[in-house]
Amino acid sequence: MLDILTYYRTGSLHISGDCCVVAFVQDLSYWGFSENNLESCCFKRYMDTKENLDWDTQNTAGDVEIEIFPPGPRGRVQKVLWDLFEHPHTSMSARVIGIVSVTCIFISTVILTLETLPYFQEHEDQTLGEFSVFAMIEAVYMSWFTLEFLVRLVCCPSKVDFLKKTMNWIDLLAIIPYYVTVGLQSYGVLDQVEDQGLQLGVGEGEEELHPGTDPGNGDVSRTAQYFRLLKLARIVKTLRIIRIFKLARHSTGLQALGNTMKSNYKELGLLFLLLGMGAIMFASLIYVFEKEDNDSTFKTMFDAYWWAIITMTTVGYGDVSPVTGMGKVIGCFCAIFGVLVIGLPIPIIGNSFNKFYARQKRWEKGEAEAKSRKLALENQSKQGKDQQDGLSRSSFRGL
């Protein structure tokens, strides 16, 4: 009100520092003024606040999930287990379970790295094709991952919504390869395939026949078959790295990053479109000027595409590089173009990430506070009921 009186006296409309911008604009509408009457400094403040509120409303509308559980003791147990394994910020027990899951993911990554060392691969103490200690540890944390997934699947409020979430499918894909590998190893399929493949000349990652193999005896088709089986077995083992994505369930930053990518798909699509156009343009130019030179490393257009992408992303491996003067000039423009193209959308994506991260932290804090208030009310209600029962018993004794 004072700001409006000041506007009548001075003709300059400003918003006080301790005043809510949205409430002030509503007051302006009541008095018949438009927000366009605001001075440029306060108008910018109003537009920033309005933009943040509109952004928060648009991006939160579809994220609010209402979890409905069956009534009775079964529903209460289901909700408790669901909160323990799905919402690690709701209680201390849920945090402990989250820490256990993160520790298992960390240990699985360490073991996945250590088992590639020759010492553990060639060690005589092997179980299911792996070093025995690693096999036992892997069995423990895979049992935990399986238990965690099954509990969440059984206790989820809606099976349909559970199956729609990408993270749940990632959890399933992180579990299945282990049991497939154990099953194949238990029946000796992998050992048999590797032994027969090596006898036919299929080495580690090789598809070529041994020099002494006679193609006329059908060994070519058998070699190709064993090679495909070996590749399939190695792909199944490699899928274990999917476990690292389980960290997104326990990390606010990773969740904010995923929401940022999903929300800014248009900006990311524009970024890839500009990079693709730049790669085609500079690859064509560099190939035209470099292909005639004897020392050129641009043998095909694929080499030129590879060079253009690596240059625009400022990686610059140097395996393919221009040698002519004109080619180096084109390389300079290619690098500058890449820096500009990549640098322009980054502030937009970064600002969106900050908003998502702040909203996620605010949501987690609010949910934890709501949980604490609910427990306090339940305790107060229980204490009041106990006191009432005590008074009733005292009155009964007095009679």
> Where does the pLDDT of residue 200 fall: very low under 50, low under 70, confident under 90, or very high at 90 and above?
very low
> Where does the pLDDT of residue 62 fall: very low under 50, low under 70, confident under 90, or very high at 90 and above?
very low
Which span out of 35-44, 102-111, 183-192, 214-223 was modeled with the highest average pLDDT? 102-111
CATH superfamily name and code, 2-60 = Potassium Channel Kv1.1; Chain A (3.30.710.10)
73-250: CATH topology is Four Helix Bundle (Hemerythrin (Met), subunit A) (1.20.120)
Per-domain residue ranges for the chain? 2-60, 73-250, 251-391
**Residue 337 to residues 191, 281, 313, 345, 348, Cα–Cα distance (Å):** 52, 11, 10, 14, 19
Best CA proximity match to 364, nearest among 204, 256, 266: 256
Distance CA 69, CA 155 (A): 9
In tens, the pLDDT along 293-307 reads 888 888 889 999 999
* CA quadruple 173, 179, 183, 188: dihedral, nearest 10: 90
Segment 360-363 long-range contacts (CB within 8 Å, at least 24 positions apart): 360/252, 360/255, 360/256, 360/259, 361/252
Q: 251-391: same fold as 73-250? A: no
Best CA proximity match to 308, nearest among 271, 334, 274, 277: 334
Give DSSP secondary structure letters for 20-58.
-HHHHHHHHHHTT--GGGB-HHHHHHHHHHHHHHHHHHH
CB 228, CB 222: distance < 8 Å: no
**Residue 286 to residues 9, 189, 278, 300, Cα–Cα distance (Å):** 68, 51, 12, 11
> How many residues are listed for the chain in this entry?
399
> Where does the pLDDT of residue 283 fall: very low under 50, low under 70, confident under 90, or very high at 90 and above?
very high
CA-CA-CA-CA torsion sign (308, 314, 318, 321):
positive
Distance CA 176, CA 178 (A): 5
Distance CA 391, CA 327 (A): 95
Best CA proximity match to 193, nearest among 135, 221, 232: 232
Architecture of the domain delimited by 251-391: Orthogonal Bundle (1.10)
For the full predicted model, state whether its pTM sits above 0.75: no
In tens, the pLDDT along 311-370 reads 999 888 888 889 888 999 999 999 999 998 888 888 877 877 777 777 777 766 666 666
What's the pLDDT at 286? 92
Segment 282-289 long-range contacts (CB within 8 Å, at least 24 positions apart): 282/308, 282/311, 282/312, 282/330, 282/333, 282/334, 282/337, 283/307, 283/308, 285/330, 286/322, 286/327, 286/330, 286/331, 286/334, 289/322, 289/324, 289/326, 289/327, 289/330
Beta strands in the chain (DSSP E): 126-127, 130-131
What's the pLDDT at 147? 92
Best CA proximity match to 282, nearest among 328, 318, 315: 328
Best CA proximity match to 130, nearest among 117, 147, 143: 117
